[in-house]
Structure 1
Amino acid sequence: MNYHDALKKIKVLDIARQQGIISEAFFKRESDTLRAYVDKVSKQKAEDDVAAKKLNDGNQYEV
């Protein structure tokens, strides 16, 4: 599963919860798991972006 799939799944689960197809407890458990995954991926991407920027900034000053 990737970041965008996790976000879509949260939306689908929310719709199912609103329509009474799944329980509030099931929604909370599943969405908490998915949100933790999304947060982890977001944090990793931010760290990767910072590392790439530092690497690129360092390369700009080489002669």
Structure 2
Amino acid sequence: MDPLIKKLSRKAIDLSGKSKKELERTCWMIVHQYKHEVMPTEYDIREIDEELYLEVLRAAKEII
């Protein structure tokens, strides 16, 4: 597994805490933070790298 994907996936898992239902949202937030260097705000519409997001989500699900 790519070290970047693994790192971002672990951050997303940590952010989601006990609520694994929030994993998709937290993966999106972590990828947003990686790309834009800040966490998204409620109405943030900046684009993210969807391919990276999907890889992070897949890896996070595998880790769990």
- TM-score of the superposition, structure 2-length normalised? 0.33
- TM-score of the superposition, structure 1-length normalised? 0.33
Larger relative contact order (Cα-Cα within 8 Å, sequence gap ≥ 6): 2
Report the structure, 1 or 2, having the larger helix content: 1
